Amino acid sequence: MDFGVNVSFEGGLAIHQKDHFQGLLGGEGYAAVPKAHWGELYFEADEVAAIEQRLKEAGAPFVHPLREQPWGQRVLRCYDPDGHVVEIGETMEAVVERMFRQGASAEAICQKTAMPSSFVDGVLATLK
């Protein structure tokens, strides 16, 4: 549900505009700290390179551009307008597909990603 100053999602997540949330916290005595790196919102998408390009074109400030994590997932991190960290990463299905298309075996993908073989095999079965 979109209420303008806040949006509620299935599963109990809600996002508030900073000034609205500040009022709910009790006003200026409970200031939200900009660019606090102790938490982040995390989203997954299949086409993270295209999202990175759109964010660059929009002038979004990046914590870091698209890079590969040790388990093979490509992610980027940027700041939202209030200075909070937002991470956007490939779905693990997209990671498995990319690694397979680059020549990795199912066993090598399991090893790199720490995903169970049932998951990797399931993803690979959809590609055939």
Superfamily of domain 31-127: 2,3-Dihydroxybiphenyl 1,2-Dioxygenase, domain 1 (3.10.180.10)
pTM as predicted: 0.73
Q: Where are the domains of the chain?
A: 1-30, 31-127
Say whether 89 sits in a helix, a strand or coil: strand
Strands, sheet with 74-79, edge to edge from the N-terminal-most edge strand: 40-45, 85-90, 74-79, 62-68
Q: DSSP label at 47?
A: -
Instruction: Give the pairing of strands 74-79 and 85-90.
Output: antiparallel
The 10 Å Cβ neighbour count of residue 108 is 14
pLDDT computed for residue 104 by the predictor: 98
Residue-wise pLDDT for 63-105, tens only, equals: 899 999 999 999 999 988 877 889 899 999 999 999 999 999 9
